[in-house]
Amino acid sequence: MSTLVERDQSVVWHPYAPPAASPLFAVESARGVRLRLDDGRELIDGMSSWWSTIHGYCHPHIEAALKDQIERLPHVMFGGLTHEGAIRLCERLVEMAPAGLTRVFLSDSGSVAVEIAIKMAIQVWHARGRPEKRRLLTIRGGYHGDTFGAMAVCDPETGMHGLFEGSLTKHLFAPRPECRFGERCEEDELAEFERILVTHKDELAAVILEPIVQGAGGMWFYSSGYLARVRALCDEADVLLITDEIATGFGRTGKLFACEHAGISPDILCVGKALTGGTMSMAATLASEEVAQSLGGGEAGVFMHGPTFMGSALGCAAANASLDLLEQGTWKHQVPAIAAQLAEELEPCRTLPAVNEVRVLGAIGVVELHEPVDMSVVQKAFVDEGIWIRPFGKLVYTMPPYLIEKQDLSAITRGMKTVIEAIR
Ligand SMILES: *Cc1c(COP(=O)(O)O)cnc(C)c1O
């Protein structure tokens, strides 16, 4: 009888991995902030399963909502039919999102929510009699998902655009904002962005970016002044603004949505990842009333999209339960406490030879190295430290569940330091 990992390696594909992924660990169960491996070892989770399990694993409130829902209505097609869970979820998202976003399109994953946002922007200009406005402008260092439309606005280098040359729509890229979060953003920071925007405004449908925190494209935190200025420039140029809050949404940066740091509202906003507290695959694209009106008034008269699992009742139940937990407000104390502890406990990493820089924003701690890590070595080393940390390239980072306790977070920062210290 072969082990789970051996069986996996002969048939299963893993994210951004060769056909037989290695090293690989089999999880038997998870509770709170702990993953239990099939060999009985327990790991403290420093990744929130890629930003999503903000309330920890198997939270009783979300579990109860899912159990109740599965007995009544796991899923029903959303064409021509609706249900209370979806209505309530959309009402709540509109209520909590930045002002002016009044319509919600539910979908099944973050990448799809981005595809939808892009299609909306293109359809809006078509409906307004300006079909030539169909390109996008974004900033380098971004990540928006793995489907073709989303890939086309990911960073061209880390997103390996060269590999898909000819298959991806060619969009426009401005430099990554160099002004950091917490710092002022001088006007000349946006000179190149503004130049491209103004030059191409007649062919641009929208600007798309991750507000404040660029996630998988480089874990980079930039000035709220930059974002505020982008909003103003988009208005001047008559170009829509799409903010991708799939990683930042639901409190991770210390605000419910990262757009709040700059006090702006986009025309279209994407959420996903933490929407269901990490239990079900679900995402949403929110749009302003003007966007919705344009779409309804165009040639098609409808928005051309409709996933089979749109508005999944189980997904909505989980999302509503996760929003209940957020509404209790404990995240407002937990996230700043995590930020303070990460800043203090990761600071000593700064002097290690392998380390280029340490940065913290909200419940996100990043140690950027000089060289990419050797995953075959460090992944096992983290597991041996009893923590689950999954670096990519030069970036060793953590974004733990909000309810992590102080000593568990210390175990994560200690383990990160120990592993990084051993890198030569
Ligand atoms: C993860 C992510 C996506 C893609 O979401 P999936 O659910 O993986 O398709 C898009 N944008 C951002 C900012 C993300 O972090």
Distances (CA, A) of 228 to 16, 39, 201: 34, 50, 18
CATH architecture of the domain with range 73-327: 3-Layer(aba) Sandwich (3.40)
Report the separation in Å between the CA atom of 341 and the middle of ligand 1, taken as the mean of its atom positions: 27
Q: How would you write the pLDDT of the chain (424 residues) with one tens digit per residue? A: 689 999 999 999 999 999 999 999 999 999 999 999 999 999 999 999 999 999 999 999 999 999 999 999 999 999 999 999 999 999 999 999 999 999 999 999 999 999 999 999 999 999 999 999 999 999 999 999 999 999 999 999 988 888 998 999 999 999 999 999 999 999 899 999 999 999 999 999 999 999 999 999 999 999 999 999 999 999 999 999 999 999 999 999 999 999 999 999 999 999 999 999 999 999 999 999 999 999 988 888 899 999 999 999 999 999 999 999 999 999 999 999 999 999 999 999 999 999 999 999 999 999 999 999 999 999 999 999 999 999 999 999 999 999 999 999 999 999 999 999 999 7
Q: Residue 229 and residue 344: Cα distance in Å, rounded?
A: 32
Active site residue 235: no
Query: What's residue 8's pLDDT?
Result: 97
If we measure between CA atoms, which residue out of 109, 139, 266 comes closest to residue 209? 139
Distances (CA, A) of 353 to 256, 368, 371: 36, 12, 11
Query: What's residue 162's pLDDT?
Result: 87
Query: What's residue 165's pLDDT?
Result: 86
**What is the H or E stretch that residue 332 is in?**
helix 331-346
Query: What's residue 24's pLDDT?
Result: 97
Backbone φ and ψ of 188, nearest 5°: -70, -15
Active site residue 244: yes
Q: Residue 380 and residue 376: Cα distance in Å, rounded?
A: 7
Domain boundaries, the chain: 4-59+329-421, 73-327
The model's pTM is: 0.98
Exposed, middle or buried, 67 (CB in 10 Å: 0-12/13-18/19+)? exposed
Asked if residue 69 has its Cβ within 6 Å of ligand 1, the reply is no
In CATH, what number does 4-59+329-421 get?
Answer: 3.90.1150.10
On whether the CB atoms of residues 113 and 107 are closer than 8 A, the answer is yes
- The catalytically annotated residue of 45, 108, 155, 244 is 244
Query: What's residue 1's pLDDT?
Result: 66
pLDDT digits 0-9 by tens, 285-311? 999 999 999 998 888 889 999 999 999
Active site residue 397: no
Active site residue 133: no
pLDDT digits 0-9 by tens, 154-176? 999 988 888 998 999 999 999 99
Distances (CA, A) of 224 to 167, 227, 342: 34, 5, 21
- The catalytically annotated residue of 108, 133, 143, 417 is 143
How do beta strands 268-271 and 42-45 pair? unpaired
Report the separation in Å between the CA atom of 297 and the middle of ligand 1, taken as the mean of its atom positions: 30
Report the separation in Å between the CA atom of 102 and the middle of ligand 1, taken as the mean of its atom positions: 22
Report the separation in Å between the CA atom of 145 and the middle of ligand 1, taken as the mean of its atom positions: 5
The number of the ligand 1 atom at minimal distance from the alpha carbon of 245 is 13
Spell out the residues 6+ positions from residue 160 whose beta carbon is closer than 8 angstroms to its own: none
Asked if residue 278 has its Cβ within 6 Å of ligand 1, the reply is no
- The catalytically annotated residue of 119, 133, 255, 273 is 273
Asked if residue 141 has its Cβ within 6 Å of ligand 1, the reply is no
